[in-house]
Every structure is written in structure tokens, then in C-alpha cells.
Structure 1
Amino acid sequence: MWAKYKLSELGAIVGGATPSTSVEKYYGGEIAWVTPKDLSSFSGRYIECGERNITEEGLNSCSAQLLPAGSVLFSSRAPIGYVAIAKNPIATNQGFKSLVPDTKKVDSLFMYYLLKYNKNRIEAMGSGTTFKEVSGATMKNIEVNLPPLAEQKRIAAILGALDDKIELNRRINANLEEQAQALFKSWFVDFEAQNSNPGFFNDIIQTTLSGDWGQETPKGNYTSEVYCIRGADIPDIKCGDKGKLPTRFILEKNLENKKLSENDLVVEISGGSPTQSTGRICLITRALLDKLGKDVICTNFCRALKPIPDYSFFIYLYWQYLYNNNIMFSYENGTTGIKNLNITDLINKEPIIIPKKKKILEFNNVLQSIFDMIYKNGRENEHLSALRDTLLPKLMAGNFSRKCCN
């Protein structure tokens, strides 16, 4: 029998806090600390840590609390509705109202899916002028319908089996990406390629394209509907997924100058953090464009590169190699707040080797099967995600029988 409960009856609702960023000894410790930004590009269910750890002294300096493994994190502002499960003890900043579940009443994985199902309803309860926020009092009083614990586990197992496969495909794709990077290194870094010339990225890039953000809905002359790639979307695209790409509306006159094509590259030029540089990159493939089914641009916090024919794989992997070796930090400006990548200097001043076309074509033939597999797995994940999202409201509404759950 399903019954109605307030969230406060199912566990403790816990907020978070940020230790003073001006006190160096509060950061770099062993305590995992998560912010909503950490979840913006996180695609799994179980999170181990964020971008930064804090020390015990940092934890004790503010009102942040160490949440036990199994706690369900829910971002309560900027934005509302990111959900993850703590894989290990974790603290959060003030952007969360997390649930430490009473395991006699509620299963953590079921609660994860239940909060995702109720995300829009909870978001509508937010208040505030600068940005919406859900208060602790509001979160505690949110009512949800809950089946008995055994049925919760059966429902969570159905949805979890789909996410298990999605996460497995993503791990496979990450391994394939590592294989591609290892091949690049063996061909062009460990042994200097024959028939190569010294040069710069700009020698093999036709042009760069600026981004756009447009409007959220059609307004005036902003009528051209597009998908817009943000820096946060790059990890998903690298795994062959479309992720959480937003739809925007831009000026028709801008579309032809900003529209992305097969083999273009998108680079994040603004953002980053003290431990993560700007410069993340993804490759625009025919498979991705076909999957999206509408025009694609990048946001104005990114820049698109149009390589000369046949050099897309090479630039993509060379760029990723430099990123992995922290080269991008040396091309950033701005020491506080948002950092910006000086992409003009990078493509004109960073010395590289440029193989001849024959070598590049041989390399592309080797790489193609790897990238085909990455995008095959990405397509499968799209289908699995669609099935999960179709089942979620049906299961959470109690529309499936025990026989179906079994």
C-alpha cells in the first residue's frame, strides 16, 4: 500500500556551507566536498568527491556537515534539482538540501529516482529574486507517495538496471578515449613522425567561430531554433551522448556564421577552476549531428575550430594531450573569478609537429573504428535513457504491478 509522507518523516534534511576561501588551510584535505557545479557535468548516480576537498578544520569552521554514504544530495539553488547519491561520506556547500534517509523507511536509490521524478514540482516551490532557492523548511514539508520498502527496492532495481548499463557504456567509452590518446602519443609524441614539419595549430585550422546564447524562447527576430553546446556538455559529447544540451533561439542572420558542421571542434574558453583549466574540447561528428536532428552552435563561453580537411582527429587528440599535461593553464588570464583561455595565443604560439597528409590518413583509418564504437555506445545510451525516463513516471505513480516489478 502506497502512503503519503513528508520528506522530514523519511530522514534528516541537511544543508551545507562553504569554508572561507581566503583560508588556505581549510582546503586540500581528505574530506570530499561537493557543490552544484560539480553535478553540472556529472552523469552518474553515485558521487565520490567534487572538484575540491576540504580539511577537518575547514569542515569545523562552518555549518557544513559530513553526510554518511547513501545520503541523497539535492541541489536547492543555482540550479534546483541536481540529484546524486553519496558513495562515501561527503560534505556539501550551501547549495544543497540533502536527505539522510531513514533506511527502515526508504531505500536510497529509490529516493534518488523519486526526487528526480519530483524535480519540476520542487523547483516550482523555489523563491527568490536573483535566483530561485528551495529552503530547508520547504524541503522538509514536501509530500511524496511511497510504497513499502520491498516494492521500493524492486522499482529501484528496474530503473537501476538501465542506469547500470548506461554507466558501463560510459566507462567503456572512457577506456576507448584513453586508447585513442595512447595511439596518438605512440604515433606523434613518443617517436617523432617522419615527414612532419614544425608548426602551430593555426596552420591546420581554417577559421574559428564565436558562439551565441540567444533567447530561451522565440522572441522578436530570435526565431532560429538550435542546440547550444556549453562547457558543461563537453564530457557528455565526448562519450557519444547529447547530455543536457539546451535548446535556444538565435537570430537567423547569425545562424549561417555560427552553425557547426561535421569535424568541427568545440573548445571551452571561459570557466575552469584552480584545479581544472579551461580548454576542454569535443569533436562534432556526423553521428552527433544526425542524432540531434537540428542545427547546433556553441555558447559564447566556447569557441569552435574548423580544421582543414582530414586533420580533425589529429587536432582533437593533440589538444587533449596538451590539456592532460596542464599546458592550458599557461594560456589563461584572470586569477580570480572566471578564467579565460587566450585561444588566439594558443593556436598561434604553441609549437606542434604537423604530419603530412599521407600519415594523417593512415592515422584516421586506425582511429575511425574507435570513434565509431564510442558513438555506437552513445546511441545505445540515448535509447536506454529514453526508456528509463518513460518508465520513471509510471513506476513512481504506482502504475506497475508487483508481477511487472518482479
Structure 2
Amino acid sequence: MVSEWNRVKLEEIAEITGGGTPTRSNEDYWNGDIPWLTPTDVTRNNKNHLSETENYITAVGLRNSSAKLIPENNVLMTSRATIGKSIINKIPMTTNQGFANFICNREKVRSEYLLYLLNSKAKKFEQLGSGSTFKEISKGELKSFVVDLPPIIEQQKIAAILSSVDEAIEKTEQIIEQTEKVRKGLMQQLLTKGVGHKNFKKTLIGNIPDSWELKRFKDICRIVNGQVDPKQMPYSHMPHIGNANIEKFTGEVLSYKTAKQEGQTSGKYLFDHKHVLYGKINPHFGKVAYPGFNGICSADVYPIEPSEGILPMYLKEVLLSHRFISYTTSVSGRTGIPKVNRKDLDPFLIPVPPLDEQKKIIDIIGNVEERLKNENLKQDKLKEIKQGLMQQLLTGKVRVPIDNEEVVET
């Protein structure tokens, strides 16, 4: 342990309480003005602070349940099912029973620091959880959990450093969200209106440029038939692409291995640089990719070869479009796992521009997708930096400099 740091139990630096749920059947308990936090509110939130919840309870509901009003600027941590996800409440709020709520002793710990400390222990808390239906870590386990705690002034500096990285991550996330909106808008515009057209014609899918054609999927696309044995050469040494190797909605191929490395034994489809891969399972995930190399793919993925009048990259964008995803979702089976059959794709209508315009459309969308990819890489790097800093700063392996003139913030 670092010399200036104290080894303490969590119960020594914070009062740890739980939450509760007012009776759902009593309307007098709900739709009041007291925020009532659930794990869902926390897990879908990418920020460290929360000031609103999806559900609200009344003062009567609070009095007649085990819910407790937690003062603002304390740390609320999920303790059931999803264990170890923490936020700071910016306003007084209650929680359901899926939380351990840390009311900080301000003389010993700052909430911002405790937030990062608890997040760094999430995996350990998960290991301490127990339960048959879902895991839960008990308040007793948390109260006796031991941590090493730096002086208040050092806590504040550590939290400030980590907060600055979080701010950069949040700004990058905002750029990613905005760029994604631009990409979707461009796809909608370019795949129906094209580039620089003034004259349009009415079709079954709306107005499209006069020079474009509207064709059925089955007339311009061919899905590969016949499977190969991934245990045999040369297929065993080829890249294997399954549904899990295609990122949803982006058209990106994720990391992959050869069929032999994965121990694949069941029949696979063969594809090459002419094919677009389409994941037929759970079509609402929009799993489409153009690998641009030779390989084999899962039987749950269709290798689709477009005719000579269509570029594979253009077809990829069509299959990633909102119209196609909505169509395939509507025709997929409702029983069991949703799946798109070959015949389901046959009647889908595809607007086909001249080849030179297809190239322009691909370039425009490609530029936005490249920006999106770079921002995602930047965000991944920032998250990696944050993890490294947490490991170094929260353990005292790296100390932050403290000036003698610095004072503790109240």
C-alpha cells in the first residue's frame, strides 16, 4: 500500500443503502415528481451523472416502500444482474432494489473519486455476486470490501484527470452520433435521388432519376448455391466469416480466423471479391459486408453476386439502407429466430443508376464512413488510455503531483 494512503472498508467511507419498489398496482404511488432509478436507466447512459429517470414515484409511494431518497452527488451502483455500473445522481433520487447506494462521508471520500474506484472494481464485484436466477452482490460483501484510499486532495486530482478523458470520450461520441446521422441521411438521399439530377420519374418506391432503372433483386443478384467442406484443403486455410464477424449497420468486417483455426466442420459457402455477404439471421441488425477477398462463410450468411451492371460496393449500400432492413425485417419469420429466406429477397426492388454514378455514390458515402471509422478508432484509443490511467492512478502505481499550496475543494 502507498504510504500516504489508508486501507479502509467501504462502509468506513460511505453509508451503503439499498432501494425498493412501490406496489405497481397502486396508482397513488406512481407518476409523481420523485425520480426512481432502475438499472436500465444506468446501463443505457454513457455518462457519469444522471439528473432524470424514466419512472417517477410519489411521496406516498416513497413512504410505503423500502425505497430511500438519496441526497444529490452520491454514487449509485447496480448490484443485481448487471453488477458494478455506477453513476452520480445530480439531484435527489430513489432507486429500486437492484442498487447499492453509497452516501459519501465527505471528510473521507469524494463522490467523483468513489465513482471511478467502484467502476475499477466492477469485475471483482461480479465475481463476488451470487444467485441462481441472476447474480447479486450483497450489501454485506460491499460493506466489508477493502480499498486503498488516497488523501482527499489526491482524490480530487485523480478524478479531475479521469474526468477530462471522459469529456474527450463524450465529445467523440457526439461526433460519431452526428456523423452517423449524416451517413444515414446521405444514404437515403443518394440511393433515391442520386447526384445532381433534375428530372425524375414515379416508381413503386417513389421518385427516382429518369436515367435510373428499377429492378427486382432476383433479376440482378445471384445467391451462391452449394456448400464446401471446411475441413478440406484449400477451404480449411481460407478466412471464415460468420454472422459474428460482421458488424451490425456499418458494413465492417470484424476480426476473423481461418476455418481450421476455428475448428469449423459444417458446410460453408464459398465467396470471392465479387460477392457481398448478407447475414440472414436477425435481419433487423443489418449485417452486410463487402470483404473484397476470397473466403468461406457460415451457412447463415448469403454470398450475393450482383450482375455486371451493379458494383458490389453499391449493392452493399443498398442492403444497408433503411428501406431494405425494414423490408427484410417485415418478411422474416415471427416464430423462433427471425430469418430471411432466399425467396423473400426475390421481389425487393433496387434502383440502379449508371455505373459512373454508382461510383460517385460509393465515394461520397465512403468518405463519411471513413470519417466515422476514424472517430470510432479515436474513441477506442481514448477508452484504452482511460483504462490504463485508472489502473495506474487508482492503485498508486503512478502518483499525481500535489503542491503544498493546493487546498481541498469543499
2: CA distance, partners of 1:404 / 1:255: 63
2:352 is equivalent to residue 355 of structure 1 = yes
Query: Is the 8 Å Cα contact of residues 281 and 319 (structure 1) preserved in structure 2?
Result: no
Q: 1:345 to 1:117 in 2, by over 3 A?
A: same
2:177 is equivalent to residue 174 of structure 1 = yes
Query: Is the 8 Å Cα contact of residues 33 and 91 (structure 1) preserved in structure 2?
Result: yes
2:59 is equivalent to residue 54 of structure 1 = no
Query: Is the 8 Å Cα contact of residues 201 and 352 (structure 1) preserved in structure 2?
Result: no
Q: 126-135 or 19-28, which moves further after superposition?
A: 19-28
2: CA distance, partners of 1:331 / 1:42: 31
Residue 253 of structure 1, CA deviation: 2.0
Residue of 308, 317, 320 corresponding to 1:316 = 320
- Counting only pairs closer than 5 Å after superposition, residues 5-404 of structure 1 correspond to structure 2 as 5-18=8-21, 34-37=37-40, 39-40=42-43, 42-47=45-50, 53-57=54-58, 60=62, 62-88=65-91, 90-188=93-191, 192-194=207-209, 195-197=212-214, 199=216, 206=223, 229=244, 251-253=263-265, 264=277, 269=282, 279-281=284-286, 308=305, 309-310=312-313, 311-318=315-322, 322=326, 333=334, 341=338, 343=340, 348=345, 353-356=350-353, 358=355, 359-403=357-401
- The one-letter code matched in structure 2 to 1:5 is V
Higher helix share: 1
1: CA distance, partners of 2:107 / 2:285: 44
2: CA distance, partners of 1:26 / 1:204: 58
2: CA distance, partners of 1:152 / 1:173: 31
Q: 133-142 or 313-322, which moves further after superposition?
A: 313-322
Q: 1:364 to 1:399 in 2, by over 3 A?
A: same
Query: Is the 8 Å Cα contact of residues 77 and 96 (structure 1) preserved in structure 2?
Result: yes
- Using the size of structure 2 for normalisation, the TM-score is 0.66
Q: 1:46 to 1:198 in 2, by over 3 A?
A: farther
Q: 1:43 to 1:184 in 2, by over 3 A?
A: same
Residue 207 of structure 1, CA deviation: 7.5
Q: Deviations over 1:146-165 (max 9, x none)?
A: 11222111111222222221
Q: 1:363 to 1:79 in 2, by over 3 A?
A: same
Query: Is the 8 Å Cα contact of residues 284 and 326 (structure 2) preserved in structure 1?
Result: no
Determine which structure has more spread, i.e. the larger CA radius of gyration.
Answer: 2
2: CA distance, partners of 1:139 / 1:201: 60
Query: Is the 8 Å Cα contact of residues 201 and 315 (structure 1) preserved in structure 2?
Result: no
**Any idea what SS the aligned residue of 1:193 has?**
strand
Consecutive unaligned residues in structure 2, runs of 5 or more: 194-199, 201-206, 226-238, 255-260, 306-311
Residue 205 of structure 1, CA deviation: 8.5
2: CA distance, partners of 1:106 / 1:141: 16
2: CA distance, partners of 1:239 / 1:154: 41
- The one-letter code matched in structure 1 to 2:394 is M
Residue 330 of structure 1, CA deviation: 9.8
Identity %: 23
Query: Is the 8 Å Cα contact of residues 59 and 65 (structure 1) preserved in structure 2?
Result: no
2: CA distance, partners of 1:396 / 1:109: 12
Query: Is the 8 Å Cα contact of residues 280 and 341 (structure 2) preserved in structure 1?
Result: no
Consecutive unaligned residues in structure 1, runs of 5 or more: 209-223, 243-248, 270-277, 287-294
Query: Is the 8 Å Cα contact of residues 243 and 279 (structure 2) preserved in structure 1?
Result: no
Q: 1:227 to 1:402 in 2, by over 3 A?
A: farther
Query: Is the 8 Å Cα contact of residues 165 and 386 (structure 2) preserved in structure 1?
Result: yes
- The one-letter code matched in structure 2 to 1:354 is P
Q: 1:156 to 1:344 in 2, by over 3 A?
A: farther
Q: CA RMSD in A?
A: 5.1
- Using the size of structure 1 for normalisation, the TM-score is 0.66
**Any idea what SS the aligned residue of 1:253 has?**
coil
Query: Is the 8 Å Cα contact of residues 78 and 85 (structure 2) preserved in structure 1?
Result: yes
